[in-house]
Amino acid sequence: MAVKVRIPTPLQKLTEGKEEVEASAGTVIDMIKDLDARYAGISERITDGGKVRRFVNIYINEEDIRFLQGELTPVKDGDIVSIVPAIAGGRI
């Protein structure tokens, strides 16, 4: 089992059109590095200098990581992570 990551439409070009992909557990930032190893280019779109970009929201099981431990929030196997552009539609 791994972490399930939901990919927003504008980033699906990088994930071969997949809406949902898998990544390995760890912290949020580790998980993003792992995603980038599988789907090159995704990290620079959603982070800048190790921080999640201001207009990108990341939810772990529907909770905004800004109100958990930010980039250092642990992500476990079986968790569902959603990457949601804040103003580009599909707000939670």
Partner 1 sequence: MGFVEGLKCRECGREYKVDPIYVCEFCFGPLEAVYDYKKIKKSLNRKKILQREKNLWRYKELLPIDGEPQVGLNSGFTPLVETKNLARELGVKTLYVKDDTVVHPTLSFKDRVVAVALTKAKEFGFDTVACASTGNLAHSVSAHGAKAGLKRFIFIPATLEASKITAALIYEPNLIAVDGNYDDVNRLCSEIANKYKWAFVNINIRPFYAEGSKTLGFEIVEQLGWNAPDNVVVPCASGSLLTKVWKSFKEFHEIGVIKKLETKVFAAQAQGCNPIAAALKSHTDVIRPMKPNTIAKSLAIGNPADGYYAVKVVQETGGCGEEVTDQEIIDGIKLLARTEGIFAETAGGVTVAVTKKLIENGCIGKNDTTVICVTGNGLKTQEALNGQMLKAHYIPPNMESFEEVLSNIK
- Judged by the rule CB under 8 A, the positions of this chain that interact with partner 1 are 10, 45, 48, 53-56, 64, 66-67, 85-91
Q: How many CB atoms lie within 10 A of CB 25?
A: 16
The least CB distance from residue 77 to partner 1, in Å, is: 28
* CB-CB contact of 86 with 55 (8 Å): yes
Q: Which is nearer to partner 1, 12 or 24 (CB)?
A: 12
Sequence letter at residue 51 = K
The least CB distance from residue 85 to partner 1, in Å, is: 4
The least CB distance from residue 16 to partner 1, in Å, is: 19
Q: Which is nearer to partner 1, 25 or 84 (CB)?
A: 84
Q: How many CB atoms lie within 10 A of CB 22?
A: 14
Q: What is the CA radius of gyration of the chain?
A: 12
